[in-house]
A and B are shown apart, each in its own frame.
Chain A
Amino acid sequence: MSLYGGIELPGHPCPENVRRLDLLPIPQIRRMMRMGVGIDKEWLWELGSKLESRKVELRKEISSYVPPDKLEEFVSSSSGEGEGGMGLELNVESAEQVATLLFKLLGVGSGRQLKRTKSGKRVSTGKKQLETLKREHAIVPLILEYREASKLKNTYTDRLPEIARLHPRGEECLICGRPHREDHWRVHTEILTTRTDTGRLASKSPNLQNIPVRTVLGREVRKAFVPQPGWKLVAADYSQFELRLLAHLSRDANMLRIFREGGDIHLATAMRAFGIDDPKKVDKILHRAPCKNVNFGIAYGLTYLGLYDLMALTHATAGVPVPDWLDEAWCMEFILKWFELYPQCVEYFELQHYRAKRYEIVWTMCGRVRPVPEVRSVHKRIREAGLRQAGNMPIQGSQADIFKVGMARVERRLVEWRAAGVGVEALLPIHDELLVEVEEGWEDEVKTLLEWEMGRAMHDGQTGELRCRVPILTEGKVMEEDRWTKE
């Protein structure tokens, strides 16, 4: 009984199994690095100039909040950042200036417990902190937007066109060895198999796995990735994979039932948590959002403080004020309630904590080991961080293990397709999503192929029997706009 490629699910540390597993995606990874991902340079340039003008507007707007008598102080300490003739402006890039403005001059967050920087010198202006202060003062969202625009511009719109390589039209491209109908530009990332404790694949120079998807601007950057002329982009990802693995590993009867019946886990959780009988009465923000946040966060050791931040973010994104009753105590109670709904998940986390304390290791379904040295620490916060990792690693690591089997299954079929003359290339793994490029006309077939092969990653290689206690679902998508998009 083993998965594709002879990979086993031993349920105990098994470095020999992991050795074979990690070799499985290598052929596909090599091809991906050689192929690169197509980019639309004009799109990026245009987006870059839009971001630049937005930055100028935002800088002006932010500076208008500085009391006029204090503005000179800021400008002199920002080493001439103010633009002559256009009025004096604040240097928004300087965290020091932002902190002074927000917390000393405008009194944002007064009366609240604010996080400080590592050195303790001043109040932190980190993203997380500002997100929670978003509704306190109109300047905070502006600063966040400025920072995002600045980051996107520096990391993507300026950089990607610089490092892209031209794949010329012709029968055999010197870079990737494939025929191309037109000249086009592609960005080549380095995909690393040995950078993470969990076994996930990483990407660097540039890192294409962390292009933001939560914001409008971030999604615009993603749209700069395009197929080569005459081809289509297709992506497939696993649906709620980590939660399904939690159900499998914990054998929680309620969770298993919901997944086996094919229900919406967030909706089902919300109905039970809030005692609602009719699915139509479930409110997206009030009921479904906290459940969704906990469902996704629980594998990462979500705490009540974390849930509070997530809920604040959910409300801010939806443009709805956070209700008075939603406080940290409510979040704590809600997490306890969640565990009451799924009691065997408590046992799962306790088992991982036991393993961490007794053996000082935890392991994935394929037997990849992550030591938990933190349990030896004299500091409670380090021990707790270790236990959170111990709860998360078997889930995230197993997901990475199974994804690699899925990649190998897909590549085996793509080799057959290529031999039959169909142009098709896998381009990029993004945690549990695979991005593929295919000649026009074949996109629907490739979508079905991805869904099928990735979805069968946990099926026995010989008998075809599913080796997971819940069905594994995948969702494929053809990028209709000929740009990489994600809901």
Chain B
Amino acid sequence: MDGDRCAACESGCRFVGGDGPEPCDWLLIGEKPGREEANRGRPFVGDSGRETDSTYLGLAGLSRPDVRITNTVKCRLGGNNNAPTAKQVRSCGLRHIPGEVERARPQVIVLLGATACGLVPKVELERDHGYPVWIGSEDSEFFGGWEGWVAPMYHPAAGLHRTGMMTPMLEDWERVGRWWGGKWRAPADENIANVDYKVVETAGELWEDLKDEYYEYLPVDTERDGSRPWSLQYSTRPGRGRLIFADRKDLLEQFAASVAWGRSGYLLHNAPQDMDMLEAMGVGGMEVRDTMQEAHQLQLPQSLKTLGWRLLGVGMRSWKELVGPPSRQKMVTWLVEEWDRETESRECVTIKLKTREKVLRRPTQREKDLKRILSHAGKDGYDVWGKAGEAGIVGGPIRSIAHVGLEEAVRYACQDADVTGRMGEELRKERERRVGGVWGESGEGKGKWGEWNVREEDWDR
């Protein structure tokens, strides 16, 4: 097998290739062989392998002889607890995986764990786990131009270390089985083409809007600029979102007066935070529902973006993505101005030379720090605020939605309120679904995973 070794391989570690039929509809790619795998020269034969074979594959209607299993990295480089480095993945993966994909000609590639998911840059494990994604030939350099479905999954070892992780993992495998059998497809955002997000300008608009009583609890969200409120957004039906700027006291007053009519309260995502902002804008005091708590009670993810994608098929930008670049630009401009000011206030020292006097202007420590930060500020991932804080350079602009272009900011902010509203409906349906059925109705005298309908004789009394 020495001919198979890549540049990252250390001598002495055993090469563990793939296992299973070729060609094969399902190709599973894990991380790297463990101790047991290295001893026996076969992938997925240790604790994780046994768990995969008997707990997970069956949920998707598969069994070990039906699938081919391999690893991203083929040897146990660096021991059990160290994930392979990007360099090792490139070196080993590019050498072996394209050939394996070509020989297996799979219909679906299952990516087990973060390392394998790293082979396809557009896959985000936290967001996409258990949701098959179509990839084109350009989407991964590791698959030799292959195109088809990839199913990102948590690594089976995750459930061995944190057993609570088994809940989403069981759901994922079961879902992939239903998807393969044509019984499930990922939700698609039906409102994407005709969303209606805008700023409320007049009292008349607001009045007309709030007459719509589609939602019992009005979905509301807030944005802040530092510790001050920047805006309030609400949604009156799916696909619609409105924004009121925090400085429009007249509109907020009217909002407070009209919102109570016909409604039970506000629907918020992460209520404690928004309630502070609502109170600061003078529109608090209503009863609330919290979609973040409701998601947690059903063991669903808590981030609105992840929930939006998984339950509604709505792709949402993260706050960091939205606010990062424009705020950074503002910060850099401010740092340049500070640097100019600092340069002007240099201390002058006059030195007598043989023939003349020379004036020296020594840079201060602050000037040196500013220069250093500015020289790195263009680099991706360089934390300008963190570095400035460490050097004691404070008082500059913070990351804030106020720096974002108006149209972009309104779209982002209104979408949060809109998705919160739609999410509230989905979570209500999900609660009813879980306890709504009759035990055993879903087949074979056993309930389905994720159903909580319990026979009455098994209740506490």
Contacts from A to B (Cβ < 8 Å): 10-16, 18-19, 22-23, 26, 29-30, 33-34, 118-121, 193-194, 197, 249, 354-355, 358-361, 363, 365, 368-369, 371, 373-374, 376-379, 382, 385-386, 389
Known contacts: A13-B435, A368-B297, A377-B51. The answer to whether A23 contacts B288 by CB under 8 A is yes
Residues B54 and A378 in contact, CB atoms below 8 Å apart:
yes
Contacts of B167 in A (CB 8 A): 371, 373
B439 to chain A, nearest CB (A): 8
List of 9 A-B pairs having minimum Cβ-Cβ separation, nearest first: A11-B460, A373-B166, A194-B296, A13-B452, A12-B459, A15-B431, A378-B54, A11-B459, A22-B293
In the assembled complex, which residues on chain B have CB atoms less than 8 Å from the CB atom of A373? 159, 163-164, 166-167, 169-170
- Residues of B near A355 (CB, < 8 A) are 454, 458
Q: List 12 A-B contacts (CB under 8 A).
A: A12-B454, A13-B434, A22-B293, A23-B289, A23-B293, A119-B79, A193-B293, A359-B454, A369-B452, A377-B55, A377-B159, A377-B163
B55 near A16 (CB under 8 angstroms)? no
Q: Mark B48-64, 1 if CB is under 8 A from A, else 0.
A: 00110111000000000
Stretch of B17-25, B66-74, B111-119, B268-276 that contacts chain A = B268-276
Chain B residues, Cβ within 8 Å of A15:
297-298, 431, 434-435, 452
Task: List chain B residues, Cβ under 8 A from A369.
Answer: 297, 452
Interface string of B426-442 (1 = CB under 8 A from A): 00000100110000000
Give the distance to chain A from B399, nearest Cβ to Cβ, in Å. 18
Query: Most chain-A CB neighbours within 10 Å: which of B160, B275, B297, B299?
Result: B297
Q: Any chain A CB within 8 A of the CB of B140?
A: no
Spell out B's residues near A (CB within 8 Å): 47, 50-51, 53-55, 79-81, 159-160, 163-164, 166-167, 169-170, 271-272, 275-276, 288-290, 292-299, 302, 431, 434-435, 447, 449-450, 452-454, 456, 458-461
> How far does the alpha carbon of A385 sit from the alpha carbon of B460 in the complex, in Å?
23
List 18 extra interface pairs beyond A193-B296, A369-B452, CB under 8 A: A11-B459, A12-B456, A13-B453, A15-B434, A15-B435, A19-B294, A19-B297, A22-B290, A23-B288, A23-B289, A26-B275, A118-B81, A194-B302, A360-B447, A360-B449, A373-B159, A373-B166, A377-B160
Distance to closest chain B CB from A397 (angstroms): 12
Residues of B within 8 A of A22 (CB): 290, 293, 297
Complex CA gap A354/B289 in Å reads 34
* Chain A residue with Cβ nearest B161: A118
* Cβ–Cβ < 8 Å partners of B166 in chain A: 373-374, 376-377
B432: shortest Cβ distance to chain A, in Å?
A: 9
- Per the bound structure, the CA–CA distance linking A394 and B385 in Å amounts to 45
Query: Which of B292, B453, B458 gathers most chain A CB within 10 Å?
Result: B458
Bound CA span A197–B299, Å? 8
CB pair B50–A249 under 8 Å, yes or no, is no
Residues of B within 8 A of A33 (CB): 272
In the assembled complex, the CB of A431 is this many whole angstroms from the nearest CB of chain B, namely 18
Partner of A14 from B298, B435, B447, B456 at Cβ < 8 Å: B435
B163 contacts A385, CB within 8 Å?
yes
Contact (Cβ within 8 A) B50 A378:
yes
* Pairwise interchain contact B272-A29, C-beta atoms closer than 8 A: yes
Most A CB atoms within 10 A — which of B164, B452, B453, B458? Answer: B452
Once the chains bind, are A119 and B80 in contact (CB under 8 Å)?
yes
Give the distance in Å from the alpha carbon of A379 to the alpha carbon of B157 in the complex: 12
Which of A193, A249, A354, A376 meets B460, CB within 8 Å? A249
Main secondary structure of the interface of B (DSSP, over half): helix
> Contact at B293–A13, with CB atoms within 8 Å?
no
Q: Are A376 and B297 in contact (CB under 8 A)?
A: no
Q: Please indicate the chain A residues that have their CB under 8 angstroms from the CB of B164 in the complex.
A: 197, 373
User: Known interface pairs A15-B298, A377-B51, A378-B50. Does A194 touch B431 (Cβ–Cβ under 8 Å)?
Assistant: no
Chain B residues lying within 8 Å of A354, measured Cβ to Cβ, are: 458
Give chain A nearest CB distance to B306 CB in angstroms.
13
Q: Check if A374 sits within 8 Å of B460, measured CB to CB.
A: no
Query: Would you give the shortest CB distance from B158 to chain A, in whole angstroms?
Result: 12
Chain A min CB distance to B66 (Å): 18
Q: Which residues of B contact A377 (CB under 8 A)?
A: 51, 55, 159-160, 163, 166
B contact residues around A12 at 8 Å (CB): 454, 456, 458-460
Given contacts A359-B452, A377-B159, contact A371 B289 (CB under 8 A): no
Closest Cβ of chain A to B426, distance in Å, is: 13
Inter-chain contacts of A194 with B (CB < 8 A): 292-293, 295-296, 302
Please tell me if the beta carbons of B272 and A26 are within 8 angstroms of each other in the complex. yes
Residues of A within 8 A of B454 (CB): 12-13, 355, 359, 361
Partner of B163, one of A23, A121, A374: A374
Report the minimal beta-carbon distance from A427 to chain B, rounded to whole angstroms.
16
- With A and B bound together, what is the CA distance between A446 and B54 in angstroms? 57
Q: How far is the CA of A270 from the CA of B449 in the complex (A)?
A: 44
Chain A: minimal CB distance from B22 (Å) = 26
> Which residues of A lie under 8 Å from residue B298 when comparing CB positions?
15
Please report the C-alpha to C-alpha distance between residue A374 and residue B81 in the assembled complex, in whole angstroms. 23
Query: Which chain A residue has the least Cβ–Cβ distance from B287?
Result: A23
Smallest CB–CB gap between A297 and chain B, Å?
A: 20
Given A12-B459, A16-B431, A371-B299: A119 and B81 interface contact (C-beta under 8 Å): yes
Whether the Cβ atoms of B271 and A26 lie closer than 8 Å is: yes
- CB of A275, distance to nearest CB on chain B (Å): 34
Contact of A379 among B79, B160, B272 (CB under 8 A): B160
B458 — which chain A residues lie within 8 A by C-beta? Answer: 12, 354-355, 358-359
Once the chains are docked, how many angstroms separate the CA of A475 from the CA of B104? 68
The chain B residue sitting closest to A20, CB to CB, is: B289
Question: Residues of A contacting B81 with CB < 8 Å?
Answer: 118-119
